[in-house]
Structure 1
């Protein structure tokens, strides 16, 4: 199945166009080395949480916006080879020196796909989600995702993707585990829901929350789940 490299970044709101241009310039470079799809989405409906949230995950400042983005690869071997090639490419240094955000607070990692339900295409809106799930509950989580994904699709979503932490490093300042306050024995789930538009997303969530099939016990601590709505700014 598809292998995912996920990222969460805090970008100054004033640097939105500079960030989009930086990502667009990097797109050809990463695809040259093996990335099959690159998606960048800009925070639009990202709420503050009581325990965890996207802003806390990357220590966002008041003037910063959250970017939720990912690379898709056919498998981990391709991803590992891609990273090796990129790090040895002299063009990488130039791109790294011109980032319009604080890279020290960027969180990233590799994830294996658990579920990919939907049709390919460019979404008009994306819900991004991070969850800490006990490793022992992996099959229970997959079973739950396999039940809920079709419901989201029934109510308007075009694609639902669930991925499981595989190569997620600890960071010096921020990382995925700290983002969701993961404890020993827990793995990070990086997932997203693609929608045709924000209007479809809002209507879809209203139907999903009213659907009696959505009443179930969660195999994870829902209070530490991070979520938010994002508008795509690049999809190649």
Structure 2
């Protein structure tokens, strides 16, 4: 099953081109280390929430845009091997100089894909989600997510991935657990739905919201008030 290394970072909006260039230059090196796919998404429709949101997750300033990105690996062993190479390769140190964003506020973590559904089509827009789920409700959450994935695909999505927190470290400034106010008995979930374009995404969500099959069936297996989400435009998908 796919293993995800998920990142969220705040980038000065004026540094968009510099960030894209920085990521593009790093891509061949990451591929060399074993990254199977690298996706960088620039915030486009990222609402502020009452309890949690992407901006708060990375302490984004008014002149910054949230970037939602990830690496995909065939499995955790490949990810662990890649991270070991990154830590020991001197080229990574030079890449860390003059970064076009504040790396201290970047959050990252490793996630095991418990749902990975693909349909025909080319991704052109991404919905990203982060949420806390009680660890003992993993099976209930997976069942709900698999049902939702089928509906997303029905209404035009080309990829649905749900990543269950596996290696989610505590950070000095920001981290996923603080971002969703996770409790000790909860696990962080990092997920994304990819659509061909924003128009398909918007129409798909209208249909999803009107679909009686998508109405809650009993108690939700997580606290939706602490889930946050946003829409992002891909800058790099290789």
TM range (shorter): over 0.9
* d(CA) in 1 for partners of 2:79, 2:116: 18
Q: TM-score, normalised by structure 1?
A: 0.98
The SS at the match of 1:31 is: helix
* d(CA) in 2 for partners of 1:59, 1:134: 25
Q: Which residue in the other structure is 1:30 paired with?
A: 30
Q: CA RMSD in A?
A: 0.9
* d(CA) in 1 for partners of 2:208, 2:120: 22
**1:119 to partner: Cα distance:** 3.4
The SS at the match of 1:94 is: helix
Q: How does 1:98-109 map to 2 (within 5 A)?
A: 98-109=98-109
Assess if the C-alpha contact under 8 Å between 1:40 and 1:67 holds in 2: yes
Give structure 1 regions of 4+ aligned residues with deviation exceeding 3 angstroms: 119-122
User: Judging changes above 3 Å, is the alpha-carbon distance between structure 1 residues 120 and 8 closer, same or farther for their aligned structure 2 residues?
Assistant: farther
Q: Which residue in the other structure is 2:43 paired with?
A: 43
User: Judging changes above 3 Å, is the alpha-carbon distance between structure 1 residues 121 and 18 closer, same or farther for their aligned structure 2 residues?
Assistant: farther
**1:8 to partner: Cα distance:** 0.1
The SS at the match of 2:222 is: coil
Q: Does 1:88 align with 2:88?
A: yes
* d(CA) in 1 for partners of 2:210, 2:107: 34
Q: How does 1:54-203 map to 2 (within 5 A)?
A: 54-119=54-119, 122-203=122-203
CA deviation vs aligned residue, 1:123-150 (integer Å, no higher than 9, x gap): 1100000010000100000000111110
5+ long unaligned stretches in structure 1: none
Matched pairs, number: 236
* d(CA) in 2 for partners of 1:40, 1:122: 15
Q: TM-score, normalised by structure 2?
A: 0.98
5+ long unaligned stretches in structure 2: none
Assess if the C-alpha contact under 8 Å between 1:37 and 1:71 holds in 2: yes
